[in-house]
Amino acid sequence: MAALRRPAPAAPGVPQRTLTRTLALRHLERDGIVTLTVYAEVPPRVEYELTELGEGLRATVRAFTQWLTDHHGEIEAARARHDNA
């Protein structure tokens, strides 16, 4: 994991958060959840789109997101208890 935290030599000045998101998207692309389209433009532009397989996750992700919203207070309280232990 430490290697993921080091800035990539080919991408100086790119925030770690951006690199992490890109890595996650590349994993989803590899798994067949999204497709990547790269446009030869300046500045560079890419688009990710859900595949048919990825579309099958849409309802599950929405349900999970709603669950997180519904239980946000409980999650924050659990984090506080853990962090203060």
Predicted confidence (pLDDT) per residue in 44-57, tens digit: 898 999 999 999 99
- 26, containing H or E segment: helix 16-30
User: Given a cut of 60, is residue 77 above it in pLDDT?
Assistant: yes
Beta strands in the chain (DSSP E): 34-39, 45-50
Exposed (0-12), middle (13-18) or buried (19+): which is 19, by Cβ within 10 Å? middle
Distances (CA, A) of 30 to 13, 38, 48: 26, 15, 12
> In terms of pLDDT, which residue wins out, 46 or 81?
81
pLDDT on residue 17: 81
Report pLDDT digits (tens) over 29-43: 999 999 999 999 999
